[in-house]
Structure 1
Amino acid sequence: MKQFISKYKHGVVLFYGIIYMLWFTYLERTVTTEFTPVYSRLDDYIPFREIFIIPYTVWFLYIFITIAYFFLTSKTDFFKTCAYLFIGMTICLIIYTVWPNGHYLRVDLDSLGRSNIFIDMLAKIYSVDTATNVFPSIHVYNSIGAMIAIYKSEKLHSKKWLQVFVIVLTVLISLSTVYLKQHSVLDIFGAVALSIIMYVVVYVPDWAKVFRKENPELSKVSQ
């Protein structure tokens, strides 16, 4: 047991999930009617397609598998992935807190004139997830983050089929947010902008080199 704890003690950063869920749940319960609507004319040209519930829900598995894989195989990739996702998610929560936002894009599922398993699944999501706290889209941001983490991984970078797969999956997940009327296209643009900023922060600098300069004793030990 001690060996297991010692080997995987880096997983302590995952406790951030508790803070995130408490904060997000609080916003979901308090930001209900008083918010700034997020809307673009482009939203009117995007039809409702319940089939996109498939990539939308696959997102949960996509993010879980990505984090779990790096947790078990590479501390460096794990820490970079968590830094990218968690810092970005925190920025999103701060934006939701200081600038409450939401939308009025959702369709009336009862008036569609059809019923199927996809609509039933979406109805459940609508019932537990409000149409607030949407800009930037965390769904899109995390998808891009997972894609970048897989692409930047030395172990996975050579697996071209996987690179293509996650790119396609990320695009489908991003599209699903607007085809299900869960987000405005502006939420996607916001997530992309935040993704670019966080990529520069997390992946461009050589943080290991910077850390060694600030801690010369570690450099001597490594030598």
Structure 2
Amino acid sequence: MKVTLKDFLYRYRHGWILSYLLIYLAWFAYLEQTVTRRFHVIHMPIDDYIPFIEVFVVPYLLWFGYVALAIAYFFFQDVQDYYKLCIFLFVGMTVFLVASTVYPHGHYLRPRVFERDNIFVTLVKGLYMVDTPTNLFPSIHVYNSIGVHLSIMHSEKLKEKKWIRRISFVLMMSIIASTMFLKQHSVFDVITGCIMAIVMYTLVYGGELLAGRKRVYRRYPEING
């Protein structure tokens, strides 16, 4: 059966929402170029006790594939879950952009010298060159990682794929830890990222939780008392 371009575009018309990434990237690039010296310093005392561990650059970089793969999977496999994931991610990313615009901020947590010289340190140096220590909270690395894991946990298609859920959980936790061990983010950024994820979770998946309770009550009416 011959599939025309028109048929293809109609079938995957839900891809329109990804155009938001053009807005996000342009806005983020603007912030990276303008918020460089004059900004509010983000710092918590606990930040000073967290060591720099360069090997965490691996999960930090895996974040890009983690998010992209999740979006691609739901794009082709489950449109409803795809929209939920995109709404979760893009609303939080917009909040981050607004926060960085109205309250320019950054930190001075990065090490000035590196005690070791290895492939991981080389990757960190490259990361530091392309990513400024500004525009930090809520941490999008943290927020999006939680969002992806939640989408996997709520997916009916992945319900029986326990190994995928476990790998996702480990990767999510590793990415969250990496933001602090690489001195990319303050603990404050991580906390605000988690708080925003909790809020969005109730907004995006709250209906599913309520529907789940109703199903339980119908099956076990004695729970209602």
TM-score of the pair, normalised by structure 1 = 0.89
Question: In the TM superposition, what are the counterparts of 1:174-189 in structure 2 within 5 Å?
Answer: 174-189=176-191
State the number of aligned residues.
205
Aligned to 2:139: 137
- Of 51, 54, 58 in structure 1, the residue corresponding to residue 55 of structure 2 is 51
Write out per-residue CA displacement over residues 162-207 of structure 1, whole angstroms, 9 at most, x where no aligned residue: 111111110000000010000011110000000001111111136x
Aligned match of 2:97:
93
Where does residue 107 of structure 1 map in the other structure? Answer: 111
Q: How does 1:190-209 map to 2 (within 5 A)?
A: 190-205=192-207
Match of 1:77 in 2: 81
Match in the other structure for 2:11: 7
- Could you tell me which amino acid in structure 1 is paired with residue 137 of structure 2? F
Other-structure match for 2:220:
none
Alignment match, 1:127: 129
State the 1:35 CA deviation. 1.2
How far is the alpha carbon of 1:45 from its aligned partner?
1.0
Moved over 2 A (4+): 111-114
> 2: CA distance between counterparts of 1:78 and 1:96?
27
Rounded Cα–Cα distance in structure 2 between residues aligned with 1:8 and 1:42: 47
Cα deviation, 1:23-59, whole Å, max 9, x if unaligned, reads: 0010111111111111111111110000000000000
**Is 75-84 or 31-40 further displaced after alignment?**
31-40
Tell me how far apart the structure 2 counterparts of residues 48 and 132 of structure 1 sit (CA, whole Å): 18
How many angstroms does 1:18 deviate by? 0.3
Amino acid at match of 1:119: V
**Other-structure match for 1:42:** 46
Structure 2: where are the runs of 5+ without partners? 212-225
The letter for the 2-side match of 1:6 is Y
Structure 1 Cα separation of the partners of residues 159 and 105 of structure 2: 37
What's the CA shift for 1:158? Answer: 2.3
Partner Cα distance (2:175, 2:115) in 1: 26
Which deviations, in whole Å up to 9, do the C-alpha atoms of 1:138-165 show, x marking residues without a partner? 0110000000011111111222221111
Question: Residue deviations 1:194-221, cap 9 Å, x none?
Answer: 0001111111136xx9xxxxxxxxxxxx
Q: Distance in 1 between matches of 2:138 and 2:107?
A: 12
User: How far apart are the structure 2 equivalents of 1:69 and 1:186?
Assistant: 32
Any unmatched runs of 5+ in structure 1?
A: 210-223
CA distance in 2: counterparts of 1:160 and 1:39, whole angstroms: 38
Residue type matched to 2:146 in 1? Answer: I
The DSSP-based 3-state class of the residue aligned with 1:204 is: helix
- CA root-mean-square deviation: 1.2
Deviates more, 1:188-197 or 1:99-108: 99-108
